[in-house]
Structure 1
Amino acid sequence: MRDYYQLMDDSRIAQKVKPQGLRKEDSFAQLPPVSILDVAEHSFNEYTDWLEKPVPMMSQQMKSIIEKYNPRIQWKCVHLIDKRSGSQNVYWVMQIPTLDCLSQDSEFYLNGTVKRLVLDHEKIKAHHFFAIEGILEPYIVVSLDVAESLLRRSYTGFVLQKVEQA
């Protein structure tokens, strides 16, 4: 049985760049093929490889790895413009495939949020990068293979938390 990890925002990075003009409610279909967005002005903006907010997006380098594991993911380009420094960085928003893979052992709070996440390894099969279907939170999961590929290259902006399986 292959291990899986939740891909989560690294909250230890205080000055992570914040794209302006996107809302978490914006669906992938609503986005144009190419977007140009300003970033919030700080004295210093750290451009990490993974940005979870307002919508999940990743750097060109990280995208090249994820594409190897799931070539069918659809992408839309986002240019982040820092007017203060005059810099431009390219990120990619993806339509993350969803997978109905929750185990019956998963537990939920009364408001419907996940208390204990347990994946059904039979339903996952050989998937490497996916979002979990049927829950309120946008949990993004990667296989051990993807996790090792990302960590070997020292990509930034995320932490990995092992996900329980039944």
Structure 2
Amino acid sequence: MEYFMLTQNQKETDGLSFIDMPNREWLGKLKSETPAAFYVRSTEMAEYSDYIERPAVFISDSVYRMVKKYDSTVKLGSAVFIDQNNGDQRLYWSLENMEGNSACISEESKRNKLEFITQLILDAREIPNQPLFRAVHGQQRFTIMRLDLAESLLRRGVCGFQLQPVAIVRGEH
């Protein structure tokens, strides 16, 4: 199976800004039953991206619904983005409470002098059987998507993210 690292499309980050965003620890405690309200400001021409990395990692409701079709057990915290100036509300889901997996990162991943990963390589034996997961290395968190989910999303016209292929090696145990 092939996997891709999701990154936010930097061309689509200018039109939306968050007002008083809480810290990531608090975001990790969001529950799906009770959406948290986040106030945003957007320009008239702003498009709401389906994948947001900053100030925290969120996916749109349409992406979340597709993830649920592939994995009905996934539980994410819900958030409503409220733009009072434009009278707009959008439902998003936080990946901050998604448990990270460090075992799936291969020792062959390229690192810089500070041990930050510059090229992610996954260990095939440790990849979780999930369509969407987080690979964690220290403070670095990578959002990883399986090929079948990526294809489904692209057929439905989601926007705001880039898919970068991730190399996979068969690790030794």
Q: Do the two structures share a fold, i.e. TM-score over 0.5?
A: yes
Instruction: Give, in whole Å, the separation in 2 of the partners of 1:102 and 1:61.
Output: 28
Instruction: Give, in whole Å, the separation in 2 of the partners of 1:28 and 1:82.
Output: 19
Q: Output aligned runs, 1:7-156, within 5 Å.
A: 7-23=6-22, 25-31=24-30, 33-94=34-95, 95-99=97-101, 100-124=103-127, 126-156=129-159
Q: 1:10 to 1:28 in 2, by over 3 A?
A: same
Letter in 1 for 2:147: L
Task: Please list every run of 5 or more consecutive structure 2 residues that lacks an aligned counterpart in the other structure.
Answer: none
Tell me how many residue pairs correspond in the alignment. 165
Bigger drift between 154-163 and 45-54 goes to 45-54
Instruction: Give, in whole Å, the separation in 2 of the partners of 1:71 and 1:24.
Output: 28
Contact 2:76 2:98 in 1 (8 A): no
Contact 1:114 1:135 in 2 (8 A): no
Query: Deviation digits for residues 19-43 of structure 1, max 9, x if unmatched?
Result: 3232453344444632111113434
Letter in 2 for 1:158: F
Among all aligned residue pairs of Structure 1 and Structure 2, give the percentage whose two residues are the same amino acid: 24
Which contiguous aligned blocks of 4+ residues in structure 1 show a shift greater than 4 angstroms? none
Task: State TM-score, norm by structure 1.
Answer: 0.87
